[in-house]
């Protein structure tokens, strides 16, 4: 294996680890790191790339983003709830008022940006709404 592949595998592993940590840590995003891990594994290891795309949690998200540049409504809803819960917990825990305000502003900006991401609409959803 050449040095380039090692680099991409290490970068993919670190990105995946940061994405997993981001599930719990409020200011660390999950989705961008998982997307980066997929891109790195695509260049570094076919086996890891296939593994992450077949993973029950990350695979559907990666496939939806790769094919449609959109998220499923359920994924978006769960992510929004997690963003709100994790930021609310962080705001509750920090002792300084200025930090509470900064976290609140960051949470609002993040929610506004995240809410603008496209949603995959299923045929049944569109038929029920008409």
Residues recorded for the chain: 130
**CA pair distance 56, 37, nearest whole angstrom:** 16
Note the pTM of the prediction, 2 decimals.
Answer: 0.69
**CA pair distance 127, 130, nearest whole angstrom:** 6
- Between helix 31-44 and helix 3-22 the angle, nearest 10°, is 160
- Amino acid 92: pLDDT: 94
What are the structural domain ranges in the chain?
1-68, 70-130
Q: In the structure encoding, which two tokens stand for residue 45, read together?
A: 């290891």
- Amino acid 124: pLDDT: 53
Kindly give the confidence (pLDDT) of every residue in the chain, 130 residues in length, as a single tens digit, with 9 standing for 90 and above: 699 999 999 999 999 999 899 888 766 778 888 989 999 999 999 999 999 999 998 999 899 988 998 988 988 888 888 888 888 988 999 999 999 999 999 999 989 988 998 998 765 555 455 5
- Amino acid 71: pLDDT: 87
Cβ–Cβ < 8 Å for 62, 33: no
Long-range contact set of residues 70-75: C-beta below 8 Å, sequence gap at least 24: 70/117, 70/118, 70/119, 70/120, 71/117, 71/118, 71/119, 71/120, 72/119, 72/120, 73/119, 73/120, 73/125
């Amino acid at each position: 294996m050449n040095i380039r592949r090692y680099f991409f595998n290490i970068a993919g592993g670190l990105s995946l680890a940061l994405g997993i940590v981001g599930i719990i840590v409020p200011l660390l995003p999950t989705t961008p790191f998982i997307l980066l891990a997929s891109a790195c594994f695509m260049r570094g290891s076919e086996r890891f790339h296939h593994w992450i795309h077949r993973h029950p949690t990350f695979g559907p998200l990666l496939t939806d983003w790769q094919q449609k540049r959109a998220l499923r409504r359920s994924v978006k809803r769960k992510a929004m709830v997690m963003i709100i819960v994790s930021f609310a917990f962080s705001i509750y825990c920090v002792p300084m008022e200025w930090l509470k305000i900064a976290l609140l502003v960051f949470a609002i900006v993040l929610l506004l940006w995240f809410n603008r991401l496209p949603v995959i609409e299923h045929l049944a959803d569109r038929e029920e709404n008409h």
